[in-house]
Amino acid sequence: MKLRGWAIALAVVLEATLAPAIDAVQLRDGKIHFDYPLSLLGATTPHKGAGFWNATYYFTLELPENAGEPLQKVAIAQTEGLERLRFNPEKTVVFEGNPREKGEEITEFAAEFDRENRMVSVRSVESIYKTLHLSSEFSSVR
């Protein structure tokens, strides 16, 4: 089941002490962005109906080899729908691969939920440089 009403906001957050990469795009406000952004490969849930308590949502992204910058933060916002989903950051799981073929789990991250903006974000403690398929598993709460 495909998820509707979700927007992917992808950002690279760098410490002020890091020098920008030669190929990266730096904006006037100092933010550094990918040359070639992440691709959303899929947004799915294993639940086939509506109204599930503690539903799980999977977002699978691909970091291209020529991104120009490492991945540090991913933010996903609900943009449509009457029901305001709430997520439990403690139940967030990040791993390489996809929901059917889970690879190595990435354990060094911090997850946050911004209820007002209906946005869940994951910040990696270690920058991810390599090309990979990355999935985040978010569990909703009621």
Residue 124 belongs to a domain with what CATH number?
Answer: 2.60.40
User: Left (φ > 0), alpha (ψ -120 to 50) or beta: where does 46 sit?
Assistant: alpha
Enclosing domain of residue 37: 6-141
0.75 surpassed by pTM: no
Contact 78, 85 (CB under 8 A): yes
61-71 pLDDT per residue, tens: 888 877 777 77
Residue 1 is assigned to a structural domain of this protein: no
Q: What are the φ and ψ backbone dihedral angles of 97, each rounded to 5 degrees? A: 100, -150
User: How do residues 70-100 score in pLDDT, each as one tens digit?
Assistant: 778 888 888 887 777 778 888 888 888 888 8
Please determine, for residue 3, whether its predicted confidence score (pLDDT) is greater than 70: no
CB atoms within 10 A of CB 80: 9
What's the total number of domains in the chain?
Answer: 1
Q: Is residue 38 in some structural domain?
A: yes
Q: Is residue 16 part of a domain?
A: yes
Q: For the residues 99-103, what does the mean pLDDT come to?
A: 85
Residue 97 Cα distances to 15, 25, 41, 54, 114, angstroms: 28, 28, 11, 23, 26
Phi then psi dihedrals of residue 15, to 5 deg: -65, 150
Beta-strand relationship, 132-141 and 86-87:
antiparallel
- The 10s digit of each residue's pLDDT in 11-57 is 333 322 233 333 567 788 887 777 777 888 888 888 777 766 777 88
d(C-alpha 81, C-alpha 85), whole Å: 9
Residue 14 domain flag: yes
Tokens 């709460």 correspond to 141
Cβ 69 vs Cβ 32: under 8 Å: yes
Q: Are 120 and 57 in contact (CB under 8 A)?
A: no
